[in-house]
Amino acid sequence: MYTPKRYGLSLTRCCENAGCKLDFAQGVIVKPKKVTVKKAKPKNKKTVGKLRLDLWDEFSLYIKILHSVDGEWCACYTCDKPIKIGTIDCQGGHCFSKAANGNIYFDDRAVRPQCSRCNCAEEGNHYVFNERLKQEIGMAAWSDMYENRKQLFKKPRQWYIDMIGYYQAEIVRLRELKSNV
């Protein structure tokens, strides 16, 4: 058993064993072994929240390219301003607030390209957005989307992974299609 002993101004660990006293007298310092704790290996799996953000990036790019003529420029859905895809000015806007209506987050009927002024400063410009959307998709489809907008259901992790792959493939297909025009 080790007991701390004070020799001069330093405190050392020494046992009452003759070998330890001899080592101490000769100046041999015995360092205690460090206890190492193995850390758990980090998993390479992304969380559902990060997958959701990755899917939003792919989904919004898909919507912007889908509603463009040449695959590089699209028009703001509410003010018809031309916006370049990939800039901070080109955003994906929703017909209803996606924070309060989680079911329409990835609904391609409800998302259109918007400029940052309409989407952020005018908070989506929802009146103009919804009036145009009603004319574009029809009143029946809009009413169905409106009635089901509040239904929340948790999507599994694999759904996000599958949808990311789907939209990546669709983006490649649309870019090839738009580049040939």
Quick: pLDDT tens for 91-122: 999 998 877 787 888 989 999 999 999 999 99
Q: Do 72 and 160 belong together in one domain?
A: yes
Q: 15 falls in which pLDDT band (50, 70, 90)?
A: low
pLDDT of residue 32: 58
Q: Do 170 and 83 belong together in one domain?
A: yes
Q: 13 near 2, Cβ under 8 Å?
A: yes
Q: Do 112 and 171 belong together in one domain?
A: yes
Query: Between these two residues, 46 and 26, which has the higher pLDDT value?
Result: 46
The boundaries of the domain holding residue 32 are: 1-37
Q: 13 falls in which pLDDT band (50, 70, 90)?
A: low
59 vs 167: CA distance, rounded Å:
6
Q: Do 64 and 24 belong together in one domain?
A: no
Total number of residues shown for the chain: 181
pLDDT of residue 103: 83
Q: Do 104 and 15 belong together in one domain?
A: no
* Stretch among 27-31, 35-39, 110-114 having the lowest mean pLDDT: 27-31
Q: Is residue 43 in some structural domain?
A: no
Q: Do 29 and 60 belong together in one domain?
A: no
Q: Do 167 and 85 belong together in one domain?
A: yes
Query: What pTM did the predictor assign?
Result: 0.73
Per-residue pLDDT reduced to its tens digit, 141-163 = 999 988 988 887 788 999 999 99
Q: 78 near 104, Cβ under 8 Å?
A: no
What is the per-residue burial (b if ≥16 Cβ within 10 Å, else e) of 147-165? eebeeeeeeeeeebeebbe
Chain-centroid distance of CA 47 in Å reads 9
Q: Do 23 and 102 belong together in one domain?
A: no
Q: Is residue 42 in some structural domain?
A: no
pLDDT of residue 28: 61
Chain-centroid distance of CA 179 in Å reads 29
Residue whose token pair is 């103009």? 128
DSSP code string of 65-113: HHTBSSSSEEE-TTT--EEETTSTTEEEEESS-TTT-GGGTT-TTTEEE
Domain count, the chain: 2
Q: 87 falls in which pLDDT band (50, 70, 90)?
A: very high
Q: What percent of the chain is predicted at pLDDT more than 90?
A: 54
pLDDT of residue 45: 84
